[in-house]
Structure 1
Amino acid sequence: MAGIPDGGEHHVIAAVHHLVKALEATKILSDDNVMRTLADLDTHLSKMIRLNEAEAENIREIETRLMSAQHTIMSLHSNHSRIWDSTCVIVLEYLQAVAEVQRLAETLQNMPLQRSSRSKELFDQAHSILQMAMARLQEELIHILVQNKQRFAHECVSLLSCEQNPIYEEESVVPNEDELFENASQRESSSIETEEYVMDLIHPDVIPHIKSIADVMFASGYDQEFCQAFCGFWRGTFAEYLTILDVKQFSIEDVLQMEWKYLNSRIRMWRHAIKSIISIYLASAKRLFNQVLGEHGHISSACLIEASKAPILCLLNFGQAVSIGPHKPEWLYCLLDMYEVLAALVPDVDALFPEEIGSLVRVEFYELLRRLGDSATVIFKELGNHVASCSSTTPFPNGGIHPLTKYVINYIMCFAEYGDTLNLLLQAPDTVNSDVGQNAVATHLQSLTLILEANLHEKSNLYKESPLRHIFLMNNIHYMVQKIWGLKNCPLLWR
């Protein structure tokens, strides 16, 4: 009945019904078939009238309930600057009113809207009320998060792990006659591990409040709006954590142009930061996100990835820049330290960034792990060539211990701490379980000492006096043997 004004359809049906009654009462139409048709039409029209009356009554009831819920919502908006700062009774009243509007909107949406423009008007009104309530809920959510965010627990990830803690005496000096080598980096104390620790990122008491907001917004079809607000807050918070940890954004060019001492300090900060962010803060965030969104399937993981992706990629980008830097010997320990940190974080990364939704971060993480390992392997294998190329034109005074000997031995002493990692990196795929694969470091170090001995013999020939040649070789070889056999892991390196 297109074109009939609102409410007119009911009057038309009533008029037709009266007409049918009048026709049934007349004696002009005596044909049985006609009378049966009129009787059926009478019954049908009676049902339509009753249905229309029931629908009108239903609409009136919906309108009354909608107006009541709207009044409650508007009153609470006006009387409370922050509803969740009020009593539990007020919060419950608000949530019930919003849930009522959501139920009425669903009811109106399922009604045949073409029968009554009033039902469509009420649906639009309910939708507007929901929009207003959802905007307020977003504000309430951010307010709760801001007011209850826990202080950055810097003490649980002590900066002691960033301090330079050399475990060897400072004997890594540069051969005076050759500038190919710079100071060998001292082995940092990698035994300091960030303990497995999950902290409360927000006060535990407000988690039910956040979950109640999430549940109402998801039920109302505003899940994206909730996730945007929730993820946006934590994205900013993780960026703050990076600032507190003194992590800065550097381009590849910035990293390649850094002075060695400054780069070395930035790498120490990076190691500390990536351990803290992944193993502590993201692990804590995962627990929180699951508490709030765990009932909504993969949404929890997707939100965590969205919130943490930028800071994680910032950390990984710095690592990528370091991994493509020049293959100098002094870079080796930093690369190995970075590799070991990432290798230890593999289980955490797999758990935090699962399946396809976390593939971008996971792929970047594993790519950096591979590059660091490849770069460290290249430098380790090339160390012998650097030693061989270190020539002298004058004899070392008094046949003493040559700086090159101290330099190489200091490297070997450090390799004792990296034995397992280096063996893993040096293993060929077909020698993983063989003795050859397990003794790869020993093979390379034996080769390195032979190269050093050959170089020392060449340097000994610079002495004109034969006794000084022998004294020089005796002093240097004795120093080598004394230092190497004093290592705890000496049998592992030379077996």
Structure 2
Amino acid sequence: MKSLCFSPRTPSSSIYRQPMPPSSRTTLSSSSTPLRRRSMIDTTIDAAATIIMKWDAQASAYARVTSLFYESKTEAMQFIKSVNDLQEVMHLLVSHQDPHPHPEKLTQAQHLMQIAMKRLQKEFYQILSMNRAYLDPESVSTRSSRTSTRTSTSDYDDDSSPDDEIRTVGDSISEVEDVSSRAMSDLKLIADCMIASGYAKECIKIYKTNRKSIIDEGVYKLGIQKLGSSEVNKMEWDVLDLKIKNWLQAQKISIRTLFSGERILCDHVFASSDSIKESCFAEISKEGAMLLFVFPELVAKTRKSRMEKMFSVLDMYTAISEDWQEIQTIFSFESASAVRLQALSSLVRLSESVLSLLTYFESKIQKDSSKAMIPGGGLHPLTTYSMNYLTLLADYGNILTDIISDCPPPAPARSSLPEQFFGSDESPAAISVRIAWLILALLCKLDCKSKHYKDVSLSYLFLANNLQHIISRARTSSLVHLLGEEWLAKHEAKVRQFAANYERLAWGKVFDSLPENPTDGEAKECFKKFNTSFEDAYLKQSSSVVPDPKLRDKIKVSIGTKLVAVYREFHDTHKSRVEVEDGSRRRSLVRFSPEDVGDYLSNLFFVTINSESSSTSSSASSRHR
């Protein structure tokens, strides 16, 4: 942040080298006699005049080009003490306690005070300017948190730490923090003095001008700019998406460094006056903070309906909600309430946008009008797209819970979802109901699409494949925590049911062609029926696909268990008695050995070998005819 927004104008690592002596105020009003009091007033004014006139920039070329606080910290403390004493003298002179007033003394004191205030204004400005790099919000905001680190690194010596690089880095951090700390102390010293002397307005003006330029520069370099609703609406999504990503980074830096650092500095410098530090911070930060927090609201209101907007909106909502406590603390002043209200307004608008996009996502599922059949009963693009979207949504489960908890699920949801979602013991979270409802909408749409298949067995395979994909994505993502094991188990049972229906319709004739204990005459017919039914079934199913490896293996094992073992027994029992005359030679009716059947089944449901399987089946068929 420092290298991005600030650069030192004058090296100041050695500005403050002398210890800061304690200051004390001369108590003049307690003097016992008017004569003694008069003497002390004269002494105080003369002492103040000596040091104040020494640093009068109008009377001394040396004073014009030299900084009091840079030249001698001890003398700077004496200067402050003299101003405080002079202020006490002025109060005494105007309090009518002296029976013999001397207006020339009051005039002299006022003149000295004016010169002193001009000097302190110059010093205040120089400290702010010369230490610009050391008073950047990053250094200020981390100064307190690094106290322990600074202490530990300062303890390094040649014997205790062989790592010179670590020691050097620690020394560098310590130096920056020490300069920052001393500059902040000097600014507070001057501010306290000027405010007590009635020159708060001049001090505040210098501070606001200097610090507002730093905050404005930081906000600008972070890429935060003033935009209108029409400008955001006209942006191409790629451009707006880049601005959103930039905002996410800028928001983090702004809250945790830029504004927090400025609040710490402002509170420290003007600790003597709550009203001053409040007005200063509000005026310095309000404009930049409002620019920062109005952007999410503009994004939320944009009419762009791209579904990708959902995750950008959720990211922005997350960023603000995670830093909400810090935002409230930094902008706790009543004068900064507009910033808090704008941040809250953005949160509300973003949550409304999320709910609207969820409704749009549901309608997009329900309105999908594609009628093209997926070859082989494979995965529908709507399934893959919807589950990609839902698994990403599930990663925002906590945020979505906050957003949806105050919004009831769609009216039909409670009547359409499985009963376990609304058990008497524990009601499900609103986010779980909403996700389950969206998946139900997807399943209903897939059921409609399955009816486009003329081959009913293929429609069941289509449903099994797509539901299996939904379950697999749910189990390997955060959806598993939202949907729960009971939901998953129920839908896994449906997959098994769809697979069983596919198996019955696609291979039922093959199973039925092998009756138990047939006679020799029946065996011949059985072999003929098996040859025809197996060949037909294989030719039809050779283009079928099952993308999920586990489901593919389960279906093949189930078919193989019911077919290969039975066929092997039938084949071994009757193969020698099923030969027929074919001209001058005898020909066997057995076309497929049990091994052939097993090999053909093992090649099923792979997308990449559909054509090869079909050609193999055709060549096998022609070879046995």
Question: Normalization by structure 1: what TM-score?
Answer: 0.70
Which among 294, 313, 317 is matched to residue 317 of structure 1?
Answer: 294
* 1:95-174 → structure 2 map (5 Å cutoff): 95-111=80-96, 119=103, 123=106, 126-150=109-133
Deviation for aligned residue 1:490: 0.9
Where does the alignment leave 5 or more consecutive residues of structure 1 unmatched? 1-53, 158-198
Deviation per residue, 1:72-131 (Å, 9 max, x gap): 323313222222221123313432343344233323333499x97x62x65455445434
Deviation for aligned residue 1:471: 4.5
SS at match of 2:270: helix
Distance, in Å, in 2 between the alignment partners of 1:319 and 1:124 is 58
Conserved in 2, the CA contact under 8 Å of 1:323 and 1:335? Answer: yes
* 1:76-475 → structure 2 map (5 Å cutoff): 76-77=55-56, 78=60, 79-80=62-63, 81=65, 82-111=67-96, 119=103, 123=106, 126-150=109-133, 203-326=180-303, 328=305, 329-354=307-332, 356-396=334-374, 399-428=377-406, 439-463=429-453, 466=456, 469-475=459-465
Conserved in 2, the CA contact under 8 Å of 1:416 and 1:493? Answer: no
Which structure is higher in RCO with an 8 Å CA cutoff and minimum separation 6?
1
Cα distance, 1:68–1:265 mapped onto 2, change above 3 Å:
same
Equivalent residue number for residue 158 of structure 2? none
Distance, in Å, in 1 between the alignment partners of 2:458 and 2:195 is 85
Deviation for aligned residue 1:220: 0.4
Q: Which has the larger radius of gyration?
A: 2
Deviation per residue, 1:197-230 (Å, 9 max, x gap): xx95971222221121011111101223222322
Conserved in 2, the CA contact under 8 Å of 1:335 and 1:376? Answer: yes
Is the deviation greater in 434-443 or in 362-371? 434-443
Equivalent residue number for residue 177 of structure 1? none
Distance, in Å, in 2 between the alignment partners of 1:100 and 1:230 is 25
Is the deviation greater in 456-465 or in 361-370? 456-465
Conserved in 1, the CA contact under 8 Å of 2:387 and 2:473? Answer: yes
Deviation per residue, 1:235-258 (Å, 9 max, x gap): 221222223323333222222222
Distance, in Å, in 2 between the alignment partners of 1:155 and 1:72 is 34
Conserved in 1, the CA contact under 8 Å of 2:137 and 2:260? Answer: no
Equivalent residue number for residue 54 of structure 2? 75
Distance, in Å, in 2 between the alignment partners of 1:274 and 1:248 is 13
Cα distance, 1:353–1:406 mapped onto 2, change above 3 Å:
same
Cα distance, 1:361–1:153 mapped onto 2, change above 3 Å:
closer
Conserved in 2, the CA contact under 8 Å of 1:138 and 1:226? Answer: yes
Distance, in Å, in 2 between the alignment partners of 1:276 and 1:243 is 13
Is the deviation greater in 211-220 or in 77-86? 77-86
Structure 1 vs Structure 2: percent identity of aligned residues?
Answer: 26
Is the deviation greater in 220-229 or in 100-109? 100-109
Distance, in Å, in 1 between the alignment partners of 2:266 and 2:185 is 12
Distance, in Å, in 1 between the alignment partners of 2:351 and 2:427 is 16
Conserved in 1, the CA contact under 8 Å of 2:137 and 2:258? Answer: no
Cα distance, 1:389–1:125 mapped onto 2, change above 3 Å:
farther
Deviation for aligned residue 1:435: 8.4
Conserved in 2, the CA contact under 8 Å of 1:400 and 1:472? Answer: yes
Distance, in Å, in 1 between the alignment partners of 2:346 and 2:275 is 27
Deviation for aligned residue 1:467: 5.6
SS at match of 1:110: coil
Deviation for aligned residue 1:70: 4.2
Deviation per residue, 1:18-70 (Å, 9 max, x gap): xxxxxxxxxxxxxxxxxxxxxxxxxxxxxxxxxxxx99998898678646634
Conserved in 2, the CA contact under 8 Å of 1:286 and 1:301? Answer: no
Distance, in Å, in 1 between the alignment partners of 2:309 and 2:237 is 9
Structure 2 letter corresponding to 1:428 = D
Deviation per residue, 1:402-437 (Å, 9 max, x gap): 332222111110121111221221123899xx9887
Deviation for aligned residue 1:489: 4.3
Distance, in Å, in 1 between the alignment partners of 2:425 and 2:250 is 37
Q: Superposition RMSD on alpha carbons, in Å?
A: 3.6
Distance, in Å, in 2 between the alignment partners of 1:144 and 1:156 is 15
Is the deviation greater in 274-283 or in 146-155? 146-155
Structure 2 letter corresponding to 1:73 = I
SS at match of 2:272: helix
SS at match of 1:294: coil
Distance, in Å, in 1 between the alignment partners of 2:216 and 2:187 is 22
Q: How many residues align?
A: 397
SS at match of 2:243: helix
Cα distance, 1:260–1:493 mapped onto 2, change above 3 Å:
farther
Conserved in 1, the CA contact under 8 Å of 2:204 and 2:280? Answer: yes
Distance, in Å, in 1 between the alignment partners of 2:323 and 2:436 is 32
Cα distance, 1:475–1:155 mapped onto 2, change above 3 Å:
farther
Cα distance, 1:391–1:130 mapped onto 2, change above 3 Å:
farther
Deviation per residue, 1:155-175 (Å, 9 max, x gap): 999xxxxxxxxxxxxxxxxxx
SS at match of 2:319: helix
Distance, in Å, in 1 between the alignment partners of 2:140 and 2:94 is 53
Cα distance, 1:401–1:333 mapped onto 2, change above 3 Å:
same
Cα distance, 1:446–1:224 mapped onto 2, change above 3 Å:
same
Deviation per residue, 1:382-421 (Å, 9 max, x gap): 3211221222254445544333222211111012111122
Cα distance, 1:202–1:307 mapped onto 2, change above 3 Å:
farther
Conserved in 1, the CA contact under 8 Å of 2:327 and 2:340? Answer: yes
Deviation per residue, 1:364-397 (Å, 9 max, x gap): 2212212211221221233211221222254445
Equivalent residue number for residue 480 of structure 2? 490
Structure 2 letter corresponding to 1:257 = K
